[in-house]
Amino acid sequence: MAGGYDRAITVFSPDGHLFQVEYALEAVRKGTTTVGVRGKDSVVLAVEKRATPKLQDPRTIRKILTVDDGVALAFAGLNADARVLVNKVRIECQSYRLNVEDSPTVDYVARFIARTQQKYTHRGGVRPFGISTLIGGYDNNGVPALFQTDPSGTYYAWKAAAIGKNAKSVQDFFEKKYVEDMDDEGTLRLALK
Amino acid sequence: MDSCFGICGKDWVILASDMAVNRSIFTLKHDEDKIMQLNKFKIVAASGEQTDRYQYCNMMMRNLQLMEFRTGFEPDVESTAQFMRTELATALRKAPFQVNLLIGGFDELDGTAKMYWMDYLGTLQQVTKGAHGYAGYFVNSVLDNNYKKDMTLEEGIAALQKCVLELKTRFIINQPTFIAKIVTKDGVQVMQL
């Protein structure tokens, strides 16, 4: 038997569940509430401000990260996993630009993240990323876009989405209060509420 | 044979290069921009093998962009030059890039401009004036005669115009157009010499 990295950790249960993925989703559910709202010409990503320990420098807490010119990412879940994943995405964006001489669409970025998260549910010796991401940005034609990915590797486009703690109640709130074609200020206000 | 040369003042740097692309006895185009803008405050003038020039400069630009996303700021000119040198030197004994470079940039932190001369073997040296290719034979003396400490940007442009005149008068290869890029605290400007 070879070294040790070929045994799968994420395997099916008898009733068709991938428990590792579901546990990862549980980890996400415990993370800071993160919301994204897409308006007519803008996308707003907002993260709940957690109380920081007295001696910790609050400026070093980065929960909304720039991934490329015009694409930002906010996440809920394991900070370290996010750091690793964002690093991969940043490299991929620059690689895309080098090869294609054009900026990647938000859809491409979301698809890449989803693909990467899925790979880690498929390979031996690794566990899934314990984060869900909200990716907001602009495509070349100036249309704003908002995508969400989760540990299972699925990605969806949203008009307004919430992840992390209390995601369900925030999502319900959005369903009631979301209005099509909101202007920049409206989008911002809704996200902050 | 590409001509590139440049001059560096206290808080400005100008790099100039010819715009011809030659193949055997033909001039394929007269408007090739051989000075690549790496980021807001840095430019690199490259001379040498066409593909290597394009590939290397683009790769450097994308890697520097990645570094900027990862760290949150543009690296300074010295770091940029050293990074580029390391890439050239590593490739040297595998698949060498046949490009000679002049790297010019402005450091926001201390408000000074710097210029570096780098050849295809990875020789790197900070300079106040320099040239690559056959142009050097003609232009180094002109630069030497016209350079003085704390010269103004206008004097620098005039010096480069004298270099262009020298090349047009004495160099056997016809190079009708020259492009110059200037880096100051306001970023990069382009001009025809």
Q: Please report, for the domain that includes residue B36, its CATH number.
A: 3.60.20.10
Please answer whether residues B132 and B25 qualify as being in contact, where contact means their C-beta atoms are separated by less than 8 angstroms: no
Residues of A that are catalytic: 32
Domain count, chain B: 1
Distance, in angstroms, between B137 CA and closest chain A CA? 35
Q: Which of B78, B28, B68, B71 is nearest to B50 (CA)?
A: B28
**CA angle in degrees (0–180, nearest 5) for B73-A61-B110:** 25
- Domain carrying residue B16: 3-192
Q: Which of A58-67, B12-21, B66-75, B158-167 has the lowest mean pLDDT?
A: A58-67
Residue A90 has its nearest CB partner, among B58, B59, B70, at B70
For chain A, list residues whose CB is within 8 angstroms of any CB belonging to chain B.
66-68, 87, 90-91, 94-95, 97-98
Task: Determine the pLDDT at residue B109.
Answer: 92
Tally A–B CB contacts below 8 A. Answer: 19
Q: For A156-181, how does the pLDDT look when each residue is reduced to its tens digit (9 = 90+)?
A: 999 999 999 888 888 888 888 887 76
Distance CA B146, CA B157 (A): 11
* Interchain CB contact of B67 with A (< 8 Å): no
CATH classification number, A19-192, choose in 3.60.20.10, 3.40.640.10, 2.60.40.420, 3.40.50.300: 3.60.20.10
Among A66, A87, A94, the residue with its CB nearest the CB of B62 is: A94
Q: Using a CB-CB distance cutoff of 8 angstroms, which residues of chain B are in contact with residue A67?
A: 69
Phi and psi at B29, nearest 5°, equal: -150, 155
Distance from CA of A102 to the nearest CA of B (A): 12
Rounded to the nearest angstrom, the minimum Cα separation between A35 and chain B is 23
Model confidence pLDDT, tens digit, residues B77-132: 999 999 999 999 999 999 999 999 999 999 999 999 999 999 999 999 999 999 99
Q: How many CB atoms sit inside 10 A of residue B21's CB? A: 15
ipTM confidence: 0.84
Q: In this prediction, what percent of chain A has a pLDDT beyond 90?
A: 45
Domain ranges of chain A: 19-192
Q: Which tokens belong to B82?
A: 């050293």
Compare A7 and A186 and report the one with higher pLDDT: A7
